[in-house]
Each structure stands twice: as C-alpha cells, then as structure tokens.
Amino acid sequence: MSGGLVEGKVALVTGAGKGIGRACALAFAREGAQVLVSDQDAAGCESVAKEIAAAGGVARSKRADVTREDDVAALVADCLSAFGRLDCAHNNAGGPVGGGPVHTLSLAHWHATLELNLSSVFYCLKHEIPVMQRQGAGSIVNTASGAGLIAVPQLGHYAAAKHGVLGLTKAAALENARTGVRVNAVCPGTIDTPTLRAAMQLQPKMGERWLASQPGGRFGTPEEIAEAVVWLSSDRASFVTGESFVVDGGAVMR
C-alpha cells in the first residue's frame, strides 16, 4: 500500500464498523494512510482494522460513542498516542433514530438524532481542529446527506441535523481558511449498506419506492462514497474547503 492519495498520512474514521465508514477506512488504508478505525460497535471496528492489516495496511481500532464528548476527546488522544499526528478525519457516524411527521416525533427521538448526527460532529471538530492547527495542516470530512439539502418527509429531525452539519462545516471551513485546515462535507444519496438492506427487508414496498426514485436505477455503493471522501482528504483537493460534495447519482436534482 504505497504511492496512494494519502500516502504517509494518519486518518481517523468514525462509524467505521460497517457500511460507508468501513469502506472509507479500507480506502484510506489502500491509499497509503495509517488508520484509526472507530465505532460504537467494538467488534465491528476491530474486524475492519484486522481486514486492513490482512491487506498489508496499518490500523488500530478503538470503540467510542461519539455522542459523548469525553469519548471523542479520548479517541483523538488515542490517535496521537498511537500515530503521533492526525492528518485526515472522517466524521461519519450517524443515522436517524425513529421517524414520522414532525408533529408526532418524540422528544427522545429528536434529541437522539441530533446528538448522533450533529452534536457528534461538533465534538469531533472541537477536538480534531486544534490538533491540526498545531500541525499547520489537516483535512476533515463530515458525513452529511442528501437530507442536508432537501426536505425529507417523515425524517424531519434527521434532515434538520444534516442541514446543521453543512452549516457547521461551512463555519469551521471559514474559521480555518488561513490555518491549513480544510473542512468539507460529503452528501451521500441512498447507499446500499447493511442498514438500508435491513430497512428494505422490513418494508419491501418502501424499498421499491426508494429504488424507483434513483435516476440511474440503482443505489450507490459505500465504495463510491469512499472515493469522494479520500479525494477530499488528499492534497489533490488542496483548494477545496467548505464544500458540500454531493454523491447521489443525481437524486437531489430530480
């Protein structure tokens, strides 16, 4: 694993036990980075770290609940202890909790969704940015969503959180325009992940509607999101900051 887009860099990926996070951790390693693989599922992130090592890469796993600031602080500290620096951070953990019309959402689902999707990104930025500022360089990619750009009925709390991620990303990008730290967001469309497959099994007709809504007639793959994340994290994207990079097969344009 040499000569890649992020050769010699250290990358931290949250929500990396499966789906998009797993694909991104593998892609960072394939492109030459040492990777700290993190997830709330300890077995999941350990499995991905072992997968990277088996392919000849360097990885370490650490369980963390990114809705807890103390866990995020410990995660960044562990990265520095293990690798000595932090060059690329992909703040990816997220997902809706519950759903329904806005006026029926429970406070528990509202708070849990904002904590997981928005507050977690704030905690990560709060602890990653100072490290990168001291280094004089770094790249952060936050996972937003197509739901951060358009209305999503039945998922108003999730859409609100993802719209918030884009606002937070833009503010952090401007604040760091002269520090050497770039901050961007990737906005995946409907991606073929284990979570999506499980939801489609529970609601087959809903899955059919999701597929029918895709302009290209298919869902995206985690690997396609990973390509965008690693490019944004690399020096190839040196003049890109504050961007909301949409990877959705044209879905939000329909």
User: HEC profile for the chain?
Assistant: CCCCCCCCCEEEECCCCCHHHHHHHHHHHHCCCEEEEEECCHHHHHHHHHHHHHCCCCEEEEECCCCCHHHHHHHHHHHHHHHCCCCEEEECCCCCCCCECHHHCCHHHHHHHHHHHHHHHHHHHHHHHHHHHHHCCEEEEEECCHHHCCCCCCEHHHHHHHHHHHHHHHHHHHHCCCCCEEEEEEEECCECCHHHHHHHHHCHHHHHHHHHCCCCCCCECHHHHHHHHHHHHCHHHCCCCCCEEEECCCHHHC
| Residue 69 belongs to a domain | yes
pLDDT at 3: 80
Single pTM value for the model: 0.95
For 6-54, the pLDDT digits (tens) are 999 999 999 999 999 999 999 999 999 999 999 999 999 999 999 999 9
| Residue 24 belongs to a domain | yes
| Residue 233 belongs to a domain | yes
How many domains would you assign to the chain?
Answer: 1
Catalytic residue among 83, 123, 158, 219: 158
Distance CA 113, CA 181 (A): 28
| Residue 93 belongs to a domain | yes
Query: Residue 179 maps to which CATH number?
Result: 3.40.50.720
- The pLDDT confidence band at residue 118, using thresholds 50, 70 and 90, is very high
For 53-69, the pLDDT digits (tens) are 999 999 999 999 999 99
Distance CA 196, CA 245 (A): 21
| Residue 252 belongs to a domain | no
123 an active-site residue? no
- The pLDDT confidence band at residue 1, using thresholds 50, 70 and 90, is very low
**Could you tell me if 48 and 37 are in contact, meaning their C-beta atoms sit under 8 angstroms apart?**
yes
Mean pLDDT of 96-101: 92
- The pLDDT confidence band at residue 122, using thresholds 50, 70 and 90, is very high
| Residue 114 belongs to a domain | yes
| Residue 208 belongs to a domain | no
Domain span at residue 24?
10-190+224-246
pLDDT at residue 2 greater than cutoff 60: no
pLDDT at residue 101 greater than cutoff 50: yes
**Could you tell me if 159 and 113 are in contact, meaning their C-beta atoms sit under 8 angstroms apart?**
no
pLDDT at 106: 96
pLDDT at residue 120 greater than cutoff 60: yes
**Could you tell me if 137 and 87 are in contact, meaning their C-beta atoms sit under 8 angstroms apart?**
yes
* Average pLDDT taken over every residue of the chain: 95
pLDDT at 212: 86
| Residue 202 belongs to a domain | no
- The pLDDT confidence band at residue 195, using thresholds 50, 70 and 90, is confident
